[in-house]
Amino acid sequence: MASQTENLDEVVRLENVCRHYMVGGETVKALDGVSFSIRKGEYWAIMGPSGSGKSTLLNILGCLDRPTAGSYWLNGVDVAHMEDNELSDHRLKNLGFVFQSFHLIPQLTVLENIEMPMFYLGVPQDERTRRAKELAAKVEMDHRLTHLPAELSGGQRQRVAVARALANDPAVLLADEPTGNLDSKTSVQIMQLFEELHAQGKTLIVVTHEPDIDAYAHSHIVVKDGKLLGCRR
């Protein structure tokens, strides 16, 4: 059973998190003693060059990988050593993901893609459809509910991905290079959407290497060589 943390205002807390790999008989310290916390409603950007440990940190935050050492508290629960099934369930309930490549299911319509996380949580069909339509309207995609991803522009696909990420009302919205496949105008539109979500109280973590995208966040983490170079609120 995972233990609880007492600070109810924190949705993310890492304490001395390490992630080490063995490569060719040598230890690679992808993350080396990383500690920081994020409170409910904050908007963070994580910056770092290629090979800095940024992607490893993203995988830890997204519960897609586990620390070699240290603790990771997500929405009040230490998830670092959870069993796989328990971790998967906690991830589904507490995290929403927005990816650079959208990761929409090509055979499903806009409405069905948005519904998918709720399906896995066992939400009844009528409630799934009602909420999916509300979220589609929130991201201005309610006029394309029956369209497939291949029939949408890149910006429209990312809007659908944002709506899907919000389907289970996650504690944290985690975005990985969310504008990486978009043109400049569409990138601004997506980041404005993120600003609206933050204004509505959502906790956002955006992982990026682009200073223009980093500038939208209110707080910033810089990673290099597996360590935090800076952490500024």
Mean pLDDT across 160-176? 96
**pLDDT at res. 7:** 62
Q: What is the dihedral of CA 158, 159, 165, 169, to 10 degrees?
A: 160
All domains in the chain, ordered by first residue:
10-232 (3.40.50.300)
96 close to 165: Cβ distance less than 8 angstroms: yes
Q: What is the dihedral of CA 96, 119, 9, 64, to 10 degrees?
A: -50
Would you give the DSSP letter of residue 150? G
**pLDDT at res. 24:** 85
Read off the pLDDT band of 197 (50, 70, 90).
Answer: very high
Element (H, E) at 228: strand 227-232
**pLDDT at res. 45:** 96
Mean pLDDT across 179-190? 94
Q: Is the pLDDT of residue 19 over 90?
A: yes
Mean pLDDT across 113-117? 97
Read off the pLDDT band of 219 (50, 70, 90).
Answer: very high
Tell me the average pLDDT of the chain: 93
Query: pLDDT tens digits for 117-134?
Result: 999 999 999 999 999 999
d(CA 128, CA 28): 44
**pLDDT at res. 5:** 52
Q: Is the pLDDT of residue 1 over 50?
A: no
Q: What is the pTM of this model?
A: 0.92
**pLDDT at res. 4:** 54
Q: Is the pLDDT of residue 172 over 70?
A: yes
Query: pLDDT tens digits for 141-154?
Result: 999 999 999 999 99
Q: What is the length of the chain? A: 233
